[in-house]
Amino acid sequence: MVIDDTSHVRTMLRTMLELDGFEVVAEASSGPEAIDQLDGADPDVVVVDFKMPQVDGIETTRMIRELRPDQIVILYTAFLDDELERRAAEAGVTVSLGKVSGLASLELEIRRHCEKLF
C-alpha cells in the first residue's frame, strides 16, 4: 500500500514498484483514506509519506498500528532528520527512509521485511 498526498508520487511509486515485481494492492492520498482501505487491501507493507494534510505520516502510522499492531510501515519522506526518525520509531514505523536515498533503498527494505513474513 502506498500513502502519499501527491498523485504523481503515488503513480511513480506504483509504477516503479510494479516494474520490479511488487504488487501494490492499494493507494491512498491521506491517512483516513488509508485506514478505510487497510483491511480490504491487507498489505504486507505500507509505504507512507510524512507531510500530508489533515493527518501526517506519524499519526497515520499510529492509527495503522492500533488496527494492525504487526503491520510493516515504511516512512518514505523528503524531510527525514534525526528528530523525525525518533518520532517515527516511537509511533511504530518499522524503518524510515529519505526519498533522497532513492527507490532502490525503498525496494531493498520492502524485500528485507517481506522475507520475514514468508
Give the span between the Cα atoms of 51 and 32, in whole angstroms: 14
Residue extents of the structural domains in the chain: 2-115
Structure-block grid coordinates of residue 108: 531493498
Which residues, at least 6 apart from 104, have a Cβ–Cβ distance to it below 8 Å?
A: none
- Yes or no: is domain 2-115 CATH 3.40.50.2300? yes
Which residues, at least 6 apart from 1, have a Cβ–Cβ distance to it below 8 Å?
A: 24, 25, 26, 27, 28, 34, 37, 38, 41, 43, 45, 46, 47
Burial of 113 (0-12, 13-18, 19+ CB in 10 A): middle
pLDDT digit string, tens, across residues 41-76: 999 999 999 999 889 999 999 999 999 999 999 999
pTM: 0.91
pLDDT digit string, tens, across residues 6-44: 999 999 999 999 998 999 999 999 999 999 999 999 999
